[in-house]
Amino acid sequence: MTVSPIDCHELLTLALEAARAGGEVLLGARRELAARAASRRTAEASVETKGVRRELVTATDRAAERAVVGRILAARPQDGVLAEEGELTPKGEISQDAEVLWIVDPLDGTTNFVHGLPFFSVAVAAYAGKLPLVGVVLAPDLGRTWYAAAGLGAFHQSATDDPTPIRVSPTSELADALLATGFSYVRNEPGRDTNVGRIGMVIGECRDLRRYGSAEIDLALTGEGSFDAYWELDLQAYDVAAGAVIVREAGGRVTDLDGGDEWLFGGSILASNGAVHDRLLSLVGNAAQRSR
């Protein structure tokens, strides 16, 4: 399936508009809490779980999704949508077969949001089948937006500056690399892969390791070269769809933990500058874990 650059430009414009609408909802909720001088107990009054105690969802997640998906469907009702919370489309399901599929996470990093940390984002992506077209990651509390479109490159924009092109880092040795990862909300079942073993294999081989709690921000930071690579397990498409576009358009490499191409719907991802990818895969990849 071929989509022309002008089509991607139009999709990118809409994705940015939709992400900004969601970001305004998130910032409005934060301002309201600050104005009320809300305690954490008050802030968490509208917090629910998604069947797993650690996986949170708030009224703000839902309001942001209505803003984002509403903007997309108003402009392109013929497109499909896959959104996390199911406010205007079926929850966690593709709304309809269409040439373009929008993948939306209205609040990636809900736990950070609830606990007053600024590392949360709105993520909006457009795909044609499994072909990445557009990705936007907007971190409103940080005042930063990363975005990319197929054939048009990847960019970063702060609240006060014009967009600037971004590229992945030139780091060639894992020993010099700053890495990022995350953990699943489901950790207690016997035999569950918690990712802890992988960290043990990597921590002595790299410069250092970070865990920010927003997969989309971790991917965006990999795209801009702040991180040299990022991996995680137990993810959904809306956790990675936008950030993966940014990494790819910034010159990086994205695979699943088998080294293949099933990172969008396959549940695991490894994104890197390309140069450290194979070495890191030899430590955190599924084949490496099975051999131990």
Write out pLDDT tens, residues 192-213: 677 888 999 999 999 999 999 9
pLDDT tens digits along 4-48: 445 899 999 999 999 999 999 999 998 876 666 445 444 444 565
pLDDT above 90: residue 232? yes
In a shared domain, residues 137 and 180:
no
In a shared domain, residues 120 and 22:
yes
Any idea what the CATH number is for the domain that residue 200 is in?
A: 3.40.190.80
Domain boundary among 165, 185, 216: 165
Which pLDDT does position 37 carry in this prediction?
Answer: 43
Range of the domain at 215: 174-290
Q: Which of 30-39, 127-136, 241-250, 270-279 has the lowest mean pLDDT?
A: 30-39
In a shared domain, residues 127 and 39:
yes
Mean pLDDT over 82-96 rounds to 93
In a shared domain, residues 143 and 66:
yes
Mean pLDDT over 105-133 rounds to 94
In a shared domain, residues 180 and 58:
no
In a shared domain, residues 115 and 233:
no
Predicted TM-score (pTM) of the model is 0.90
Domain boundary among 137, 165, 193: 165
Domain boundary among 165, 182, 216: 165
DSSP annotation string for the chain: ----HHHHHHHHHHHHHHHHHHHHHHHHHHHHHHHTT--HHHHGGG-EESSSTT-EE-HHHHHHHHHHHHHHHHH-TTSEEEESS-SSS-BTSB-S--SSEEEEEEEETHHHHHTT-S--EEEEEEEETTEEEEEEEEETTTTEEEEEETTTEEEEEESSS--EE--------GGG-EEE----S---STT---SHHHHHHHTTTSSEEE--S-HHHHHHHHHTTSSSEEEESS--HHHHHHHHHHHHHTT-EEE-TTSSS-TTTSS-EEEE-STTHHHHHHHHSHHHHHT-
In a shared domain, residues 32 and 82:
yes
Which pLDDT does position 197 carry in this prediction?
Answer: 87
